[in-house]
Structure 1
Amino acid sequence: MITELRAELQTGRLVLKKMSTADSASLFSIWSDPEVARYMNITSFTDESQAVEMIELLDKLASENQAIRYSIIESKSGLIIGSCGYNMLDYDNARTEIGYDLGREYWGQGYAPEAINALTHYAFLTLGFNRIEAKVEPANLNSIKVLEKLHFTLEGTLRQCERSKGAFIDLCMYSKLATD
């Protein structure tokens, strides 16, 4: 059963809105920060056209129901403060992988757990998924803290499982099950 993905999710302080090219300037300012991009599988962007290309790629995946990425909007200010979403949707196996990033000035304020909670609840309760995965570099301690706070389970380290920025990297596999 494939469900039409919702274009918007809401939390107490955030609106998660399906990304559009109108968001490119805000997302470029986030994705061009080397500290934000440090653990992403991109090098920090140097031109807004790169953000437009990324959004168009993600939009194509969403139109094919393979993935969806949301801009994270702070409700109070209306500002885009990051992005999150499902990097892949595996309906046959009722599982997905999440990803997320925040502008540096919003780190440590509880926005990432709040956004991920919304993704988790939607995946389990609406999409009927059984498993949510998150892969994170071992050195990305802030992201690991977020996943542990949300009771994701560390399953192990996938050794040199992906190429990022020209090198093979290890990734820690975290998961959460509908029954957790």
Structure 2
Amino acid sequence: MITQFFTERLHVRKITTKDSEELFRIWSDPDVTRFMNISNFTNEQQAADMIYFLNQLYEKNEAVRYSIIELSTNKIIGSCGFNSLNKEHDRTEIGYELAKASWGKGYATEAISKLIDIAFQEMNLNRIEAKIDAKNKNSIRLMERLHFTYEGTLRQYEKNDGKYADIQLFSRLKSD
């Protein structure tokens, strides 16, 4: 599995425990975690534990998470990756989040576009899925911009901070 890649403005590499301080800063922001199925973190150990968990999934070839690093500053501005890999059915689910200061600059489009290329060309997958909170208009627009197809709404599919959330399912096929 690919452990790093570059885009015009980003270095995207497999997440490591050394990233916990910078990712804690992002994952502790309630605006960033608002539409994620996690509550914002309250201490750096939670970030370290999450990275450990994600790397365990990587070792089992079930997922891979990358830190997104802005080349001009060499700072981590978010993470992205394949949340679940299903080799039997040649599909994966993508996920991503960016620090609030990096919103609206095209970084998500840049990183996810390259992830799509990797999934279809390098990993030979057939389907990529994205599950987006129905209230997350920015991520929905990103999926539309990247030519994902809206497949439907999973009603009250996830629980976040004690409240049920409708999740919209998007997909893109290799043949699209």
TM-score by length of 1: 0.96
Partner of 2:45: 49
Deviation at 1:86, TM superposition (A): 0.4
**Residues 148-175 of structure 1: CA distance to partner in whole angstroms, max 9, x if unpaired?**
1111110110112223332332100000
Conserved 8 A contact 2:54-2:63: yes
Q: State how 1:87-106 maps to structure 2 within 5 Å.
A: 87-106=83-102
In structure 1, what is the Cα distance between the partners aligned to 2:120 and 2:51? 25
**Percent of aligned pairs with the same amino acid:** 51
4+ residue segments displaced more than 4 Å: none
Aligned match for 1:59, one of 55, 58, 63: 55
Q: Aligned AA for 1:70?
A: Y
Partner of 2:34: 38
Conserved 8 A contact 2:134-2:165: no
Question: Are 2:42 and 1:77 aligned?
Answer: no
Q: Aligned AA for 1:139?
A: K
Structure 1 unaligned spans of 5+: none
State the aligned residue count: 176
Partner of 1:111: 107
Deviation at 1:49, TM superposition (A): 0.4
In structure 2, what is the Cα distance between the partners aligned to 1:177 and 1:165? 33
Deviation at 1:103, TM superposition (A): 0.1
Deviation at 1:55, TM superposition (A): 0.3
In structure 1, what is the Cα distance between the partners aligned to 2:82 and 2:101? 24
Deviation at 1:131, TM superposition (A): 0.4
Aligned match for 1:17, one of 13, 20, 30: 13
Q: Aligned AA for 1:47?
A: N
Partner of 1:123: 119
**Residues 57-112 of structure 1: CA distance to partner in whole angstroms, max 9, x if unpaired?**
00000011000000000111111000000000001101000000000000000000
Structure 1 vs Structure 2 CA RMSD: 0.8
